């Protein structure tokens, strides 16, 4: 069979780090990047006799996240121990939620080729993170390993999608929308590079029309949106080729090798551990009053989905545009403020997604670090619109705004960049040029339309590009036909 | 009578009326320790100097509130900052915590004086204190017999007059059975009454901190000092703590006492049974109403109890992996070997057995048949008790099937040893308060009567115990000095 004879089925398991001040079961700081083993106490480092106490903020964030994903919020939930030995897991069990997750049966809408598609959310549950091992070189050759327990007890929400995605690009869209939804809900920083957003992908393939799911492979070590997309594409192709070769796929966990751009087998289902989940006896079951959920719901801000619909309906922007504009609450706020000051949403969107993003990416800055305000950008766009500056000049002014944070008007003034649109000034200049170039005037009158281009060029040269080119064209036309 | 032979409440009076000093009390206890400890071996760590120093400081102040100046012992699974806490295990042989168990902190805030850390069965798993990795403790009444366990050192030292009271932990019988074997009072409160913070648990849903004293009055005093909600223990309960001493009244006319027929059947020593039946007659003579009742699911209690205890223990023991503290076998070549070699060396046979049983009970394919079924039995047992308590105030039964057995008699036979929990494990399963008080002698060894109260109704249970104690003299006997 050919690749187009197969359907790819993808589900994602996403870990989102909740941005509470303190850890899930103790008072230790939940801050990234501290010196090893400085954010630790008897509880999160698993010392004898220490007991966990649940951080209420963790539950509140989980409820917020659940509501943002249209989930049902359990009125009764509990915590379970997932038992396994590893040096970064001090208690030899991870506290998680097994059969009663706090959130279930939700969904999130994404746009595929401009059309909405609903991706089911199977469940989202609260769990604690484990620590980190630092090896000397590779794990297989290291002489010793160091254990850093700072991350132990960092609160996580694991969000498990339904196997509703059908191509790598959809999975990427889902993850991007999930990220922005968590950012808007205010529950996580979702920084993939710091590990506060982590993603595993479940991938299988099946012949088109087949109802039963194919053998599932879980891919780990996906550290960017790009590696998610690449890994799924590679893995799906690998599975199709294996099936074409008559191989039987095994259910297994594979890791994405970023360097070689391939997935490699980590362990098969048979080697998978029995985690012996059972209710954690140190944590009482959690009863969540409806009033709590309702008050969280009332405090919910506009979410990416609502914002995207608003921008599409109100401004007629494309699904692609709005997905970028809603990539973070700050980015959307910048757009909204800019549009409030300059009511041409498409132009604002184009400048933000074009020049602004280009400069932000080049200098590796966030929108929050932009040195000029949305109103400053609006001012520049207004100047273009009014013909005060040309599009080309505007790009130079923008670069200066980005570098210095100065308002456009000031830059224009300082550099003498204002476009010359004063008719009298321009007519006087044109008359001089016409006098100086009688031959060209003659050519033009003789039917050589192109001759006018030379005349315009002379004006632009004389004004160092500051003349309004549209106006110059019109005026030259007028002067020549008048004589 | 020597100071160490008196009770906490008697010493409190002597201190407050300046007839004695804390230093004198400590010295009296130290003299007793010098006499008997070589045989009894109740202490893992004796804090002679610290105790004397604390007593002198207290005497300088001259104020004796709460439990001020009274020497006590802690089972060696209570974390004590700066003091070795071993759980009687090679695994923690040199472990020095940097935090205090809440119950221990509350006692030190009440100015009680810590004399030492008491021997126990390793990680509180066992019923004879023979499973201490260091040495067995002996019963002060007969050095050839065990003191019971797992809080054997705590009970033996109180019985021997080495300390005035002690704290233990009880997940099935570990306070009450040794109290019964040693002829002292042992109380396991309702689950959630006392904080478990800093107590090195074996089975979190069954473990409860409790008190061992020489009489019921002392028991109420000590319980008062440690009871109450602790924000550090999510399973501790925010119910108001009643005045336990005020509940001690001799008049129990009309008190309704039930005795479950299942707790007087085969397997219970005839003489032990006779003592408790005699005690019931005493209660009747005091005006209580006595009826036989049934706890129909009792026959399933022990296996279900063991499954839950082992399952939780298997998870709780996971943290002893040689990574951060405790024993580590440095000869291991890799991390997996380090785990197995460290745990192989660090744990005793019974701890390993329970880890294996618990791991098996939680394994895929067995969970439903074992652990889940045990949880269902647990609910049924609770229902049995609830039903009886609809009509009765207190349940009475023997604490243990026998009096203290001889050293070595049950070692190598885990099933016989596990039978020690048969009369008391259900109360842990149901979270109920239970206490053992002396009610007679068989073969010159003390017999304990088990009283079970409604959830958080320690006052009624204490009142029933106090009335019996007032009407009898069993609690006045000391090893080598029977009061007849």
The catalytically annotated residue of B154, B174, B195, B298 is: B174
Confidence at residue A483, expressed as pLDDT on a 0 to 100 scale = 53
Task: Tell me whether residues A93 and B371 touch, CB distance under 8 A.
Answer: no
Q: Do B198 and B97 contact (CB within 8 A), yes or no?
A: yes
Our CA-based measurement puts residue A142 at a distance from the nearest CA of chain B, in whole angstroms, of 10
Shared domain check, A406 and A374: yes
Confidence at residue A482, expressed as pLDDT on a 0 to 100 scale = 67
pLDDT (tens digit, 9 = 90+) per residue, B18-60? 999 999 999 999 999 999 999 999 999 999 999 999 999 999 9
For residue A55, the chain B residue with the least C-alpha distance is: B234
- Identify the burial level of B214 via C-beta atoms within 10 angstroms of its C-beta, where 0-12 means exposed, 13-18 middle and 19 or more buried: buried
Q: Do the domain assignments include residue A236? A: yes
Task: Give me the mean pLDDT over the B222-233 stretch.
Answer: 98
Shared domain check, A376 and A472: no
pLDDT category of residue A439 using cuts at 50, 70 and 90:
confident
Task: Give me the mean pLDDT over the A154-178 stretch.
Answer: 97
Q: Do the domain assignments include residue B257? A: no
pLDDT category of residue A4 using cuts at 50, 70 and 90:
low
Beta strands B165-170 and B185-188 are unpaired
Does pLDDT of A479 surpass 90? no
Shared domain check, A169 and A89: yes
The C-alpha atoms of residue B204 and residue B316 are separated, in whole angstroms, by 8
Q: Which of A294, A317, A341 is the last residue of a domain?
A: A294
Q: Largest alpha-carbon pair distance within chain A?
A: 101
Does pLDDT of A138 surpass 90? no
End-to-end CA gap in chain A: 76
pLDDT (tens digit, 9 = 90+) per residue, B173-190? 999 999 999 999 999 999
Across the interface, of A49, A81, A87, the residue whose CB is closest to B315 is: A81
- What φ, ψ does residue B31 adopt, rounded to 5°? -60, -45
Shared domain check, A392 and A445: no
Model pTM?
0.92
Q: Which of A415, A445, A472 is the last residue of a domain?
A: A415
Q: Do the domain assignments include residue A321? A: no
Confidence at residue B215, expressed as pLDDT on a 0 to 100 scale = 98
Percentage with pLDDT > 90 across chain A: 75
Q: Which of A370, A397, A415 is the last residue of a domain?
A: A415
Instruction: Using an 8 Å CB-CB cutoff, list chain A residues near B315.
Output: 81, 83, 92-93, 276, 278
Q: Kindly state whether A85 is in contact with chain B, defined as any CB-CB distance less than 8 angstroms.
A: yes
Task: Tell me whether residues A51 and B234 touch, CB distance under 8 A.
Answer: yes
Beta strands B394-398 and B256-260 are parallel
Domain range enclosing B240? 3-249+466-476
Q: Do B153 and B118 contact (CB within 8 A), yes or no?
A: yes
Across the interface, of B200, B203, B311, the residue whose CB is closest to A278 is: B311
ipTM value greater than 0.90? yes
Does pLDDT of A460 surpass 90? no
The alpha carbon torsion through B171, B173, B175, B178 (nearest 10 deg) reads -150
Shared domain check, A396 and A435: no
Q: Do the domain assignments include residue A305? A: no
Q: Do the domain assignments include residue A306? A: no
Does pLDDT of B461 surpass 80? yes
What DSSP character marks residue B475?
Answer: G
pLDDT category of residue A423 using cuts at 50, 70 and 90:
confident
Q: Is B174 a catalytic residue?
A: yes
- What φ, ψ does residue A223 adopt, rounded to 5°? -100, 0
CB atoms within 10 A of CB B59: 21
Q: Do the domain assignments include residue A315? A: no
Instruction: Using an 8 Å CB-CB cutoff, list chain A residues near B323.
Output: 87, 90, 147
Beta strands A278-279 and A80-83 are antiparallel
What SS3 class is residue B102? helix
Domain tally, chain A: 3
Task: Tell me whether residues A281 and B205 touch, CB distance under 8 A.
Answer: yes
A–B: how many Cβ contacts below 8 A?
Answer: 98
- Identify the burial level of B77 via C-beta atoms within 10 angstroms of its C-beta, where 0-12 means exposed, 13-18 middle and 19 or more buried: buried
Q: Do the domain assignments include residue B382? A: no
Percentage with pLDDT > 70 across chain B: 100
Domain range enclosing A432? 424-482
Task: Tell me whether residues B204 and A85 touch, CB distance under 8 A.
Answer: no
Task: Tell me whether residues B324 and A45 touch, CB distance under 8 A.
Answer: yes
Shared domain check, A464 and A371: no
Instruction: Using an 8 Å CB-CB cutoff, list chain A residues near B318.
Output: 83, 85, 91-93
pLDDT (tens digit, 9 = 90+) per residue, B333-383? 899 999 999 999 999 999 999 999 999 999 999 999 999 999 999 999 999
Instruction: Using an 8 Å CB-CB cutoff, list chain B residues near A283.
Output: 234
The C-alpha atoms of residue B229 and residue A270 are separated, in whole angstroms, by 46
Q: Do B119 and B150 contact (CB within 8 A), yes or no?
A: no
Instruction: Using an 8 Å CB-CB cutoff, list chain A residues near B204.
Output: 281-282
Confidence at residue B456, expressed as pLDDT on a 0 to 100 scale = 98
Q: Which residues on chain B place their C-beta less than 8 Å from a C-beta of chain A?
A: 77-79, 85, 87, 92, 95, 97-99, 101, 196-201, 203-205, 231-235, 311-312, 314-315, 318-319, 321, 323-325, 335, 339, 359, 362-364, 367, 371
Best of A26, A27, A42, A49 to disrupt the B interface (most B CBs within 10 Å) is A49
Return the CATH number at A439: 1.10.10.410
Domain tally, chain B: 1
Q: In the predicted model, what is the mean pLDDT of chain A? A: 93
Shared domain check, A275 and A136: yes
For residue A53, the chain B residue with the least C-alpha distance is: B234
The C-alpha atoms of residue B153 and residue B462 are separated, in whole angstroms, by 24
The catalytically annotated residue of B75, B117, B273, B463 is: B75
Shared domain check, A445 and A379: no
Does pLDDT of B396 surpass 90? yes
Confidence at residue A434, expressed as pLDDT on a 0 to 100 scale = 84
pLDDT (tens digit, 9 = 90+) per residue, B402-443? 999 999 998 778 878 888 888 999 999 999 999 999 999 999
Q: Kindly state whether A81 is in contact with chain B, defined as any CB-CB distance less than 8 angstroms.
A: yes
The C-alpha atoms of residue A442 and residue A167 are separated, in whole angstroms, by 64
Q: Is B75 a catalytic residue?
A: yes
The C-alpha atoms of residue A456 and residue A341 are separated, in whole angstroms, by 34
Q: How far is CA B128 from the centre of its chain?
A: 12
Q: Is B128 a catalytic residue?
A: no
Across the interface, of A50, A54, A93, the residue whose CB is closest to B234 is: A54
Angle between helix B8-16 and B22-40 (nearest 10) = 150
The C-alpha atoms of residue A354 and residue A325 are separated, in whole angstroms, by 12
Task: Tell me whether residues B371 and A278 touch, CB distance under 8 A.
Answer: yes
Task: Give me the mean pLDDT over the A439-463 stretch.
Answer: 81
pLDDT category of residue A433 using cuts at 50, 70 and 90:
confident
Confidence at residue A420, expressed as pLDDT on a 0 to 100 scale = 75
Instruction: Using an 8 Å CB-CB cutoff, list chain B residues near A91.
Output: 318-319
Across the interface, of B203, B319, B371, the residue whose CB is closest to A48 is: B319
Structure tokens at A128: 């604690």
Q: Do the domain assignments include residue B190? A: yes
Q: Do the domain assignments include residue B371? A: no
The C-alpha atoms of residue B129 and residue B195 are separated, in whole angstroms, by 24
Beta strands B256-260 and B289-293 are parallel
pLDDT (tens digit, 9 = 90+) per residue, A270-323? 777 899 999 999 999 999 999 999 999 999 999 999 999 999 999 999 999 999
Task: Tell me whether residues A91 and B319 touch, CB distance under 8 A.
Answer: yes
Task: Tell me whether residues B234 and A282 touch, CB distance under 8 A.
Answer: yes
Shared domain check, A388 and A258: no
Does pLDDT of A1 surpass 70? no
Q: In the predicted model, what is the mean pLDDT of chain B? A: 96
Q: Do the domain assignments include residue B385? A: no
Shared domain check, A450 and A405: no
Q: Whose CA is closest to A255, among A264, A246, A242, A267?
A: A264
Confidence at residue A409, expressed as pLDDT on a 0 to 100 scale = 85
Peptide bond into B477 cis (omega under 30): no
Shared domain check, A432 and A402: no
The C-alpha atoms of residue B85 and residue B47 are separated, in whole angstroms, by 13
The catalytically annotated residue of B150, B171, B202, B314 is: B150
Contacts of A329 (CB under 8 A, 6+ apart): A183, A184, A186, A301
Q: Do the domain assignments include residue A314? A: no
Does pLDDT of A24 surpass 70? yes
Q: Do the domain assignments include residue B126? A: yes
Best of A44, A51, A146 to disrupt the B interface (most B CBs within 10 Å) is A51
Shared domain check, A441 and A407: no
Confidence at residue A2, expressed as pLDDT on a 0 to 100 scale = 66
pLDDT (tens digit, 9 = 90+) per residue, A349-373? 999 999 999 999 999 999 999 999 9
Return the CATH number at B115: 3.90.1300.10
Q: Whose CA is closest to A4, among A177, A244, A187?
A: A244
Q: Do the domain assignments include residue B441? A: no
Q: Do B282 and B468 contact (CB within 8 A), yes or no?
A: yes
């Amino acid at each position: 069979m050919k690749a187009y004879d197969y359907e790819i089925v993808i589900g994602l398991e996403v870990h989102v780090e909740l941005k509470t001040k303190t850890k899930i079961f103790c008072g230790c700081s939940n801050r990234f990047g501290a010196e090893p083993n400085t954010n630790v106490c008897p509880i999160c480092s698993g010392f004898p006799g220490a007991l966990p106490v649940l951080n209420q903020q963790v539950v509140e964030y989980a409820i917020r996240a659940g509501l943002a994903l249209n989930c049902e919020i359990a009125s009764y939930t509990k915590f379970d121990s997932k038992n396994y030995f590893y040096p970064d897991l001090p208690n030899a069990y991870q506290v998680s939620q097994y059969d009663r997750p706090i959130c279930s049966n939700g969904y999130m809408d994404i746009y595929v080729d401009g059309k909405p598609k609903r991706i089911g959310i199977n469940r989202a549950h609260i769990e604690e993170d484990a620590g980190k091992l630092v090896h000397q070189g590779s794990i297989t050759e290291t002489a010793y390993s160091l254990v850093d327990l700072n991350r132990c007890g960092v609160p996580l929400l694991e969000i498990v999608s339904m196997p509703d995605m059908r191509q790598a690009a959809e999975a990427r869209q889902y993850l991007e929308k999930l990220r922005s939804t968590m950012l808007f809900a205010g529950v996580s920083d979702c920084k993939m590079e710091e590990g506060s957003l982590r993603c595993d992908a479940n991938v299988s393939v099946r012949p088109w029309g087949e109802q039963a799911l194919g053998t599932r492979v879980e891919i780990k070590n996906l550290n960017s949106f790009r590696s998610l997309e690449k890994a799924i594409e590679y893995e799906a192709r690998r599975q199709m080729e294996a099936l074409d070769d008559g191989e039987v796929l095994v259910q297994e966990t594979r890791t994405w090798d970023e360097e070689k751009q391939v997935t490699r087998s980590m362990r098969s289902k048979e080697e998978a551990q029995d985690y012996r989940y059972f209710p954690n006896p140190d944590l009482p079951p959690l009863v969540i009053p409806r009033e709590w959920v309702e008050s969280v719901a009332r405090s919910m801000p506009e979410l990416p989905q609502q914002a995207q619909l608003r921008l599409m309906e109100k401004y007629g922007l494309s699904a692609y545009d709005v997905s970028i504009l809603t990539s973070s609450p700050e980015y959307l706020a910048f757009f909204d403020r800019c549009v409030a000051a300059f009511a041409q949403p498409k132009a604002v969107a184009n400048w933000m997604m074009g020049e602004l993003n280009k400069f932000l990416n080049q200098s590796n800055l966030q929108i929050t670090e932009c040195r000029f305000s949305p109103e400053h950008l609006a001012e520049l766009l207004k100047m273009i619109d009014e013909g005060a500056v040309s599009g080309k000049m505007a790009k130079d002014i923008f670069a200066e705004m980005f570098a210095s944070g100065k308002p456009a008007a000031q830059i224009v003034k300082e550099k003498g960049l204002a476009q010359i649109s004063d008719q009298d000034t321009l007519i006087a200049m044109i008359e001089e040029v016409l006098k100086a170039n009688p031959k060209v005037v003659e050519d033009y009158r003789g039917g050589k339309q192109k001759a006018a281009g030379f005349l315009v060029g002379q004006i632009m040269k004389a004004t160092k590009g500051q003349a309004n080119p549209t106006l110059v064209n019109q005026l030259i036309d007028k002067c020549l036909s008048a004589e | 009578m020597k100071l160490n032979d008196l009770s906490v409440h008697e010493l409190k009076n002597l201190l407050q009326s300046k007839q004695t000093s804390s230093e004198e009390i400590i010295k009296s206890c130290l003299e007793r320790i010098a006499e008997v400890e070589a045989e009894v071996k109740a202490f893992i760590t004796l804090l002679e100097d610290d105790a004397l120093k604390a007593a002198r400081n207290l005497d300088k102040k001259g104020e004796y509130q709460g439990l001020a100046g009274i020497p006590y012992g802690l089972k060696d699974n209570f974390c004590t900052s700066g003091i070795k806490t071993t759980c009687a295990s090679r695994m923690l042989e040199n472990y020095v915590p940097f935090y205090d168990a809440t119950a221990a902190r509350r006692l030190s805030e009440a100015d009680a004086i810590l004399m030492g850390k008491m021997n126990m069965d390793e990680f509180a798993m066992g019923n004879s204190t023979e499973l201490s990795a260091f040495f067995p403790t002996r019963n002060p009444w007969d050095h050839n017999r065990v003191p019971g366990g797992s809080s054997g050192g705590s009970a033996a030292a109180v019985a021997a007059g080495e300390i005035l009271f002690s704290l233990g932990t009880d997940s099935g019988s570990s306070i009450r059975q040794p109290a019964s074997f040693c002829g002292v009072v042992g109380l396991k409160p309702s689950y959630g009454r006392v904080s478990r913070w800093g107590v090195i648990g074996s089975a979190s849903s069954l473990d409860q901190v409790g008190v061992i004293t020489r009489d019921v009055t002392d028991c109420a005093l000590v319980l008062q000092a440690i009871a109450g909600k602790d924000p550090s223990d999510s399973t501790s309960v925010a119910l108001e703590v009643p005045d336990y001493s005020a509940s001690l009244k001799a008049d129990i006319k009309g008190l309704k006492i039930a005795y479950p027929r299942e707790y007087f059947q085969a397997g219970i020593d005839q003489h032990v049974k006779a003592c408790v039946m005699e005690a019931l007659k005493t209660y009747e003579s005091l005006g209580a109403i006595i009826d036989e009742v049934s706890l129909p699911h009792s026959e399933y209690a022990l296996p279900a109890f063991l499954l839950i205890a082992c399952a939780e223990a298997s998870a709780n023991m996971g943290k002893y992996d040689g990574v951060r503290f405790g024993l580590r076998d440095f000869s291991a070549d890799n991390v997996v070997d380090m785990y197995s070699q460290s745990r192989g060396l660090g744990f005793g046979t019974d701890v390993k057995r329970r880890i294996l049983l618990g791991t098996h009970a939680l394994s895929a394919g067995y969970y439903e048949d074992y652990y889940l079924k045990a949880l269902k039995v647990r609910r049924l047992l609770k229902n049995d008790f609830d039903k009886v308590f609809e009509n009765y105030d207190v349940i009475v039964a023997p604490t243990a099937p026998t009096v203290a057995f001889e050293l070595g008699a049950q070692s190598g036979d885990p099933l016989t040893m596990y039978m020690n929990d048969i009369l008391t494990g259900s109360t842990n399963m149901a979270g109920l308060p239970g206490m053992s008080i002396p009610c007679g002698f068989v073969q010159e060894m003390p017999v304990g009567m088990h009283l079970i109260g409604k959830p958080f109704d320690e006052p009624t249970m204490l009142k029933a115990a106090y009335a019996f104690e007032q009407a009898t003299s069993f609690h006045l006997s000391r090893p080598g000095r029977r009061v007849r």
